[in-house]
Structure 1
Amino acid sequence: MATTNLQPDTMKFVYPTIDASTTLHQSAKGKVVMITGAGRGIGQAIAIAFAQALAAKLILTALEESELEESRQKVQEIKPDIQVFLRALDVRSNVDVDTFVSEAAAWAGNHIDVLCCNAGISPPLVPIASGDPDRWWMGLEVNLKGVYLFSRHVLPIMLAQGAGHIIITASRAATRADDKMSSYQISKLAATRLCECIHRENHEMGIRCFAIHPGGIVTRLLTDLETKETESWAPEVVKIIRPNLREEISLPGGVVPF
């Protein structure tokens, strides 16, 4: 009797099923998409993929306005007529997020089809017994509170229109408990559970919420560690993590429009 191999393939790059420039071309046609952490890395890759999928309007935010301008340039090279609203802000500020969402929604005709909560940080990887409490807590402030605030202020818009998707950049770290990674892993675990709560509360009203593991991607979260000379823990962490980062940054970009 023949057996079926149920082990899925592990993909490290964009493949035809999720290629926004071919298979998914026009899949986001006319859509309004809001992306946090959109100035570089995975967030920028998501913005590029939505431009390839012919989104009509992108609402982008990150900490650095210069990085957002670079993302604007890249998406408009792909789709010159795409409209882009951008602003630099801190996702931890309720007032700033509320104001941003209100103004961006008004710009987009009080309509948001997709919210991509991608902004994130990797706090210092140090033991709980010796770490700085404020820097430890910052991981949850950005990776969890930021997701909550954007979801909180975008959900009423989606509920009013009767449809919407919220996509959270989670991590395989949510399933692990490793030395010196408590802040990051707890924040990603909590964000994943928040995703489940959002979906449970709102799916009957047409709202869908997903948490994705983007893969092992080399982003500035890692490259910043490689240049830190004052942090004694950085070289050890880079040595452990770097060999496991094998996926192309375009991979999560393709997954999100899919």
Structure 2
Amino acid sequence: MADATSTPHVLPARTALVTGASRGIGRAVALGLARAGLDVALLARDAARLEEVAAEVRAIGRSALVLAAEVADPAQVRDAVARAEAPAGPADTDGLGGVDLLVNAAGRIDTEVPLWEADPDEWWSVMETNLRGPFLLCREVVPGMLARGGGRVVDLNSGSGSHDMVDASAYNVSKTALMRLGSHLHAAGFDRGLRVLELAPGVVQTDMTASMRSHEGRTEWTPVERTVDVVTAFARGELDACSGWFVRVSHDTPGSLRELAATTTAPAARRLRVQPAGPDDGLRHVLTGR
């Protein structure tokens, strides 16, 4: 496992780009980061809603940049990141001077049916938002991070990224693939200062969860503040030893993660692995030891 003590020290983030920032978890994270002292670029499709969030960020005393864009469109993502990385200035339309923290919070879920009943166009559209979007954002943002000595990426993942689901197969597949994407970024970029976290926010009360049949009648929700707390701690550099990990804020806190990172000896802590069939499986060490 990569050792955070033998790689470049990454300074606390000063700026962040948050996708899906117009509502729900993305909005809460953007405002939480602003309260923690970061300037924030807000990316989503709804410019009017983004302006409302930007006004809240500015009321906190931080700079906010509105980036109306579709995360699955390469040209729009490229232009949005270029604006975010433009030199900072006094105007609201000026850039942040660079992106220290990327939070991929934009996401969708498909109709809750088994794969053979899924609509092909809807299925692929969910894959584009949940996987192609983070890929495009990372592809544009990470080179600048590495050039400046490092940076951080948080993917809003899900328990469906680590567990099988009987419905919403596009969401299930996309979140699993997103976790593998994060593992790749960690493996390829850690020694150059890149830190990555796959974060499952639990079941937060949002427009998306309200639309899901599986949550009908639910009365217990995961407070979104748990997600904000972990993202903020990660932005500050307090959880860099957890880079590459899958965390679930329904159980994990900044404090518990720091303690766990200090004592773990697993070669692939909190990462996807194929489980052996049993103790006599000839592939047991191959599957779990790297």
Normalised TM-score (structure 1): 0.79
Structure 1 runs of 4+ off > 3 angstroms? 107-110
1:11 matched residue in structure 2: none
1:89 matched residue in structure 2: 69
Q: Deviations over 1:168-218 (max 9, x none)?
A: 100111122222221111110110110010111011111111111111101
Counterpart mapping for 1:165-184 below 5 A? 165-184=152-171
Q: What is the CA–CA distance in structure 1 between the aligned matches of 2:25 and 2:198, rounded to whole Å?
A: 14
Q: Deviations over 1:107-156 (max 9, x none)?
A: 43642110111100111112211221010111110111100000000011
Alpha-carbon shift at residue 71 of structure 1 (Å): 1.1
2:273 matched residue in structure 1: none
Q: What is the CA–CA distance in structure 1 between the aligned matches of 2:139 and 2:37, rounded to whole Å?
A: 27
1:251 matched residue in structure 2: 226
Aligned-residue RMSD, C-alpha: 1.8
Structure of higher RCO (CA pairs closer than 8 Å, 6+ residues apart): 1
The code of the aligned residue for 1:59 comes to A
Tell whether 2:51 aligns with 1:32. Answer: no
1:63 matched residue in structure 2: 45
Alpha-carbon shift at residue 244 of structure 1 (Å): 7.5
Residue pair 2:21, 2:50 contacting (<8 A) in 1 also: yes
Residue pair 1:218, 1:245 contacting (<8 A) in 2 also: no
The code of the aligned residue for 2:63 comes to Q
Counterpart mapping for 1:1-258 below 5 A? 31-55=14-38, 57-77=39-59, 79-80=60-61, 82-106=62-86, 107-108=94-95, 110-223=97-210, 225=211, 236-239=213-216, 243=218, 246-258=221-233
Percentage of matched positions with identical amino acids: 29
Residue pair 2:22, 2:50 contacting (<8 A) in 1 also: yes
The count of residues paired between Structure 1 and Structure 2 equals 216
Residues 196 and 244 (structure 1 numbering): CA distance in 2 closer, same or farther, change over 3 Å? farther
Alpha-carbon shift at residue 163 of structure 1 (Å): 1.3
Q: What is the CA–CA distance in structure 1 between the aligned matches of 2:46 and 2:226, rounded to whole Å?
A: 24
Alpha-carbon shift at residue 253 of structure 1 (Å): 1.6
User: 3-state SS of the aligned residue for 1:165?
Assistant: strand
Q: What is the CA–CA distance in structure 2 between the aligned matches of 1:48 and 1:129, rounded to whole Å?
A: 40
Q: Which structure 2 residue ranges, 5 or more long, are not aligned?
A: 1-10, 87-93, 234-290
Q: Which structure 1 residue ranges, 5 or more long, are not aligned?
A: 1-26, 226-233
User: 3-state SS of the aligned residue for 2:37?
Assistant: coil
Alpha-carbon shift at residue 245 of structure 1 (Å): 5.0
Residues 218 and 52 (structure 1 numbering): CA distance in 2 closer, same or farther, change over 3 Å? same
User: 3-state SS of the aligned residue for 2:52?
Assistant: helix
